Amino acid sequence: MDSRNTSTGGPYYHTPVMTKKVLDALSLRGGSVFVDGTFGGGGHSSAILDLFDCIIIATDRDVNSVPIAKKLNEKYQDRINFYNASYTQIPSLLDSLSIKKVDGLLLDLGVSSMQIDDPKRGFSFQNEGPLDMRMGKNAISAFDVVNKMKEEHLSEIIRDFGEEKHSRIIASRINDYRQKNTINTTTQLSDIINDAVGNFYKKQKGAHIHPATRTFQAIRVFVNNEFEELYALLMGICDYIKLGGRIAIITFHSLEDRIVKNIFDHLTGYSSSKSRYEPKIEDQTNPPFIYPDKKFYKPDGDEITQNPRSRSAKLRYIQRTEHLFRENLDIYSMTKYKRILKELK
């Protein structure tokens, strides 16, 4: 089925994933205040408002969500308070609205269909477009990363944020190419990557992915500072979640899911593994959250058939306890990437 069929309509469309499970995970009731940090096409928010008499505070960095939120707000009689902002702003938005606690938070990470299918946004190697990949008003674009970043840093980014084994070869080929020509488009970049490592990918056993998949992921994550934003929100939002309130997060690739899992494990006192992506909870016996349920969910076969883009989705959720939230920020240092980012400006 075409994803447009179940969309919120208009020129913008996006099929929300695992909607029923998301609603169960959030355990919403009427009268609650709920936060949708990644509003996108408003699919999850609409599903919530259809079923519950609640208010939604929503954010999205993408300006294209503004008209969708406006339209839905008319439909749902002003029950959506939408802000065209990063979700890291949610704690201060709640302060400005004098909302002390909310019943739940949903993050549906990654890019929307509206973003990936619009060649002008430059997210996809399957459509020719400018190297952009900015979800909002970011300081740098994919063009800056690909054309201006030092080769060694490019290799690091592709390795760390794309988990690409061949990052050095790819960075070296990009560097060779850009000595002679500027790399302007998604297809130019995809062809360079394919020439560099296409053969390695062909020889790989198991499921095949396009050779440019991991590099495009890495550049997008870096351009949008995705992991640091996620961490910053999760550290800032805990004390705004009511006792019994839930945080539900949908991820779309293994690295993103690992970060969420590590942060959730620590918030629930579930494990003491030493990942660099995790905060440290000092009192593991009184964690600020619990896992109410089995640890993660995936879309079923029918959903994947109807919406193939849902296939890599994973949903995890946690529930607030009465215990205080205390964490050690030093554990999660992005200083290294700040330095690299600075060089680009």
Ligand X SMILES: C[S@@+](CC[C@H](N)C(=O)[O-])C[C@H]1O[C@@H](n2cnc3c(N)ncnc32)[C@H](O)[C@@H]1O
Kindly list the residues in this chain that would bind ligand X in the complex (CB under 6 A).
14, 16, 37-38, 40-44, 59-62, 65, 86-87, 108, 110-112, 135, 229
> What span, in angstroms and rounded, lies between the C-alpha atoms of 257 and 255?
5
Taking the complex as a whole, the smallest distance from the CB of residue 109 to ligand X amounts, in Å, to: 6
Burial class of 300 by CB neighbour count within 10 A (0 to 12, 13 to 18, 19+): exposed
Instruction: Give whichever of 15 and 187 is closer to ligand X, judged by the CB atom.
Output: 15
State the minimum distance, in angstroms, from the CB of residue 222 to ligand X. Answer: 13
For the chain, the three-class secondary structure string (H helix, E strand, C coil) is CCHHHHCCCCCCCCCCCCHHHHHHHHCCCCCCEEEECCCCCCHHHHHHHHHCCCEEEEECCCCCHHHHHHHHHHHCCCCEEEECCCHHHHHHHHHHCCCCCEEEEEEECCCCHHHHCCHHHCCCCCCCCECCCCCCCCCCCHHHHHHHCCHHHHHHHHHHHHCCCCHHHHHHHHHHHHHHCCCCEHHHHHHHHHHHHHHHHHHCCCCCCCCCHHHHHHHHHHHCCHHHHHHHHHHHHHHHEEEEEEEEEEECCHHHHHHHHHHHHHHCCCCCCCCCCCCCECCCCCCCEECCCCCCECCCHHHHHHCHHHCCCEEEEEEECCCCCCECHHHCCCHHHHHHHHHHC
- Minimal distance in Å, beta carbon 74 to ligand X? 17
Q: Which two tokens stand for residue 281?
A: 């909870």
Residue 3 or 271 having the CB closest to ligand X: 3
Of residues 108 and 303, the one with the C-beta less far from ligand X: 108
- Min dist CB 197 to ligand X, Å, is 28
Nearer to ligand X, 61 or 253 (CB): 61
Smallest gap from residue 112 Cβ to ligand X (A): 4
Closest approach of Cβ 4 to ligand X, in Å?
Answer: 13
Min separation Cβ 269 and ligand X, Å: 27
Please say which residue, 44 or 166, places its beta carbon nearer to ligand X: 44
CB of 66 to ligand X, least distance (A): 11
Q: Which tokens hold the place of 204?
A: 């790989």
Closer residue to ligand X (CB): 93 or 290 = 93
- Alpha-carbon gap, residue 323 to 230, rounded angstroms: 22
Closer Cβ to ligand X, 69 or 170, answer by number: 69
In this complex, which beta carbon is closest to ligand X, that of residue 308 or of residue 326? 308
